[in-house]
Amino acid sequence: MLMSMNLTKLSLEARRKAEAFQHKAAKNKKRDEAITFMIIHRVFYI
């Protein structure tokens, strides 16, 4: 019983960390896309 509770806690914590990492990666990707978009537009307007 105690062992299964520990495993459940570990799996929940691992999932939470993975979700946080994915969220951060998605946020960075959006920022990179915005920067790329701005650079491309600057090249065309110059």
- Judge whether 36 lies within some domain: yes
- Alpha-carbon distance of 33 to 28, in angstroms, equals 9
In this predicted model, what pLDDT tens digit does every residue of 6-43 receive, in sequence order? Answer: 778 888 888 888 888 887 888 888 888 888 888 887 77
DSSP string, 2-42: HHHHHHHHHHHHHHHHHHHHHHHHHHHHHHHHHHHHHHHHH
Q: Which amino acid is at 29?
A: K
- Judge whether 10 lies within some domain: no
pTM as predicted: 0.48
Q: Which domain holds residue 39?
A: 19-46
For 9, 16, 27, 35, 40, the CA distances from 31, given in Å and listed in that order, are: 33, 23, 6, 6, 14
- Judge whether 14 lies within some domain: no
Total structural domains within the chain: 1
Give the pLDDT confidence score for residue 37 in this predicted structure.
85
> Confidence band (pLDDT; 50, 70, 90) for 2?
low
- Judge whether 30 lies within some domain: yes
